[in-house]
Structure 1
Amino acid sequence: MKKVQGLLFALFITVLALAGCGGNEQEKAGTVATTAKKDTAQQEAVQFPVTLTDAVQNEVTIEAKPEKIVSLMPSNTEIAFGLDLGEQIVGVSDFDNYPEEAAKKEKIGGMEFNVEKILSLKPDLVLAHASSADAGEAGLQQLREAGITVLVTNNAANFTEVYETIRLIGTATGKKEKAETVIADMEKKVEEIKTKAQEIKEVDRKSVFVEVSPAPEVYAAGKNTFIDEMLQIINAKNTVTEEGWPKMESEAVIKSNPEVIITTHGYYTSEPVKNVISREGWQNISAVKENRVVDVHSDKVTRTGPRLTEGVEELAKAVYPDIFK
């Protein structure tokens, strides 16, 4: 090209033309993106007003898409962030630690939330939770009387109820489509794990004891809890036959002789595994003898939000490490 000046000129013109085309394409892309944003905003606006029945059977009408949201429960916060509502969240509970952005939000208290603090944030919507709705009813009523919409989500005991909560929050905030996407992703992950677990032969199924608090008062995951459902998904047997979250006596655990013991309290006990294996009489339990005591991420297996599927995966790896690598 150095020898032919005409070719250089032609190349220069070509580059300019391509640059011009690139600019036009960028303009077009920008226009498409802007149009898409407008379309999304219009779709969200069409969804309101909306009337919903919440977990305590209150009929709640939301007139317009909430711009400022306060969440009183970590699970609701995780769901809201999962629905891309991070910018709308203005206040969270003292226990909120995920995602990282949640920790930077204004804190409104713990189980006993600060009504005055919430009022000062001027939210359009407060996401409460059925597990604390009775204890906090007086405060919630104050918020309602101040003109703030309060929506109580259910105290989910299984994946179906978690999906219901995600749909409820999605509908209340104009994120119905995003909610369905989140649910579909969770269902897909659960199904993948379940399919892989079905390959485990009956003779190889493990019996598992899941404790959610350490000695001296040991509480465990019983029947009809989401942890019990997780164990079913990974094709493991729950050694706890009681309903809910029963307090367990050492003799009963020793007698059930679990092959794997899972703890979920490592976030506040320094040595959860040592806590288990050092208990009197537990040395003869199969899980202890075979070094099958594992601590898993508490929030992922106990917080009823989008990360529950990660919790299922952690449980699967803890119980069947050779299969779920």
Structure 2
Amino acid sequence: MRRVRTAIAGMVLGTLGLAGCGQSSGSGSGTSATPVASGSAPAVGAFPVTVQAGNGSVTLTSRPGRIVSLSPTATEILYAIGAGGQVAAVDDQSDYPAEAPKTSLSGFKPNVEAIVAAKPDLVVLANDLEGVVKGLGKVGVPVLVEPAATKLDETYDQIRDLGAATGNADKAGQVADGIKGELDRLAAAAPKGKELTYYHELDTTPYAATSGTFIGQIYGLFGLKNIADAAPGAAGGYPKLSAEFIVKADPDLIFLADTKCCGQNAAALAGRPGWSGLSAIKDGHVVELDDDVASRWGPRVVDLAEAVSAAVQKAAG
């Protein structure tokens, strides 16, 4: 799991320069960020449709019926917008929703022959690794690269991209609008003027994430101040912090995104040399996040924001 999480952080860094995604043609427009059952029947958009993805303009001549998703975030989005019934296979990291047809396919080391064996009429990726886009293009398989979002607007764009590409544009618009509405509601309810500080831990190295990252912007909705912004190497977005730096900063809140991968919790932190006296530990303000929810940029970003909101409300007291 740690290897995967490190790769995710690297992918985020590597996609900062990629073009933003946006639906350019086809029908399209909230209600809910929760994935819907694959048996639902949303309105089907018109084809052909062209989508502006991370790999440029991609035209689909007909509605895809066998989608292969090699991106856990894309998998979550596909099910949320009602395209679950069109998904034929997903990668080995796509663990949500439970009904997604998980396989041994890898998004980190994609194998063109293995992907083609699934007979896809659309492949969705977060990164073009191992020359997979070119390889699939040679055999006529359309590919959408939807890279790690660096801001919330890119999440909304990717949801609409996948809605247009799968013939589920109306539902995709509802999902995107629903997420934005929920985030706006949670942000509006945040305590004002508290200036609480926080530390977001990616793994036990420990690596952190600054305010300039996607996850950092979620915290920013609640007026939190990120201790990692002042750390050496912060310009890269994911600085490696020293224990001494964290102890000196003494954050009001600690958010752990390494609970599943690395077994971290408040008790484990208290056992680290010099950490037992940290305010967040003494005051009970250590928040154990779901690693997957905290590392993806899809519909469950609302779940992440709700966890942050609850922690902020508690700490503001």
With the length of structure 1 as denominator, give the TM-score of the two structures.
0.78
Offset at 1:289? 2.7
1:48-197 alignment, distance < 5 Å? 48-56=47-55, 58-102=56-100, 104-129=101-126, 132-133=127-128, 135-136=129-130, 138-197=131-190
TM-superposition CA deviations, 1:36-94 (whole Å, max 9, x none): x7x934xx2xx2112222113x2211111111100011000000111111111111110
TM-superposition CA deviations, 1:255-303 (whole Å, max 9, x none): 2210111101111223432332222122332212323222111222221
- CA gap of 1:110–1:180, structure 2 versus 1, over 3 A, is closer
2:43 corresponds to which residue? 40
Q: Within 2, Cα distance between the matches of 1:139 and 1:226?
A: 26
Q: SS in structure 1 opposite 2:85? A: coil
Contact 2:285-2:315 within 8 A present in 1 as well: no
1:170-249 alignment, distance < 5 Å? 170-197=163-190, 200-202=191-193, 204-214=194-204, 217-241=205-229, 242-243=234-235, 244-249=237-242
- CA gap of 1:221–1:322, structure 2 versus 1, over 3 A, is closer
1:256 corresponds to which residue? 249
Q: Within 2, Cα distance between the matches of 1:194 and 1:139?
A: 40
Offset at 1:233? 1.3
Q: SS in structure 2 opposite 1:213? A: coil
Q: After the TM superposition, which parts of structure 1 deviate over 6 Å for at least 4 consecutive aligned residues?
A: none
Q: SS in structure 2 opposite 1:283? A: coil
Q: Within 2, Cα distance between the matches of 1:72 and 1:160?
A: 22
Q: Within 1, Cα distance between the matches of 2:133 and 2:149?
A: 20
Q: Within 2, Cα distance between the matches of 1:146 and 1:252?
A: 52
The AA in structure 2 aligned to 1:211 is E
Offset at 1:253? 1.4
Contact 1:301-1:312 within 8 A present in 2 as well: no
Contact 2:78-2:162 within 8 A present in 1 as well: yes
Q: SS in structure 1 opposite 2:50? A: strand
1:321 aligns with 2:314: yes
The AA in structure 1 aligned to 2:171 is K
Q: SS in structure 1 opposite 2:99? A: helix
Contact 2:265-2:286 within 8 A present in 1 as well: no
Q: Within 2, Cα distance between the matches of 1:81 and 1:165?
A: 13
Unaligned runs of 5+ in 2: 1-40
TM-superposition CA deviations, 1:112-149 (whole Å, max 9, x none): 123222111111100011xx32x33x222211111100
Offset at 1:322? 6.9
Q: Within 1, Cα distance between the matches of 2:309 and 2:48?
A: 43
With the length of structure 2 as denominator, give the TM-score of the two structures.
0.80
Unaligned runs of 5+ in 1: 1-36
1:304-315 alignment, distance < 5 Å? 304-315=297-308
The AA in structure 2 aligned to 1:68 is R
Larger radius of gyration: 1
Offset at 1:222? 0.6
Contact 2:60-2:165 within 8 A present in 1 as well: yes
Aligned pair count reads 272
Q: Within 1, Cα distance between the matches of 2:81 and 2:196?
A: 36
- CA gap of 1:278–1:123, structure 2 versus 1, over 3 A, is same
Q: Within 2, Cα distance between the matches of 1:140 and 1:64?
A: 20
1:22 corresponds to which residue? none
1:11 corresponds to which residue? none
Offset at 1:110? 4.4
Greater fraction of residues in helix: 1
Contact 2:92-2:102 within 8 A present in 1 as well: no
Cα-Cα RMSD: 2.0
Name the % identity. Answer: 31
Contact 1:80-1:86 within 8 A present in 2 as well: yes
Q: SS in structure 1 opposite 2:220? A: helix
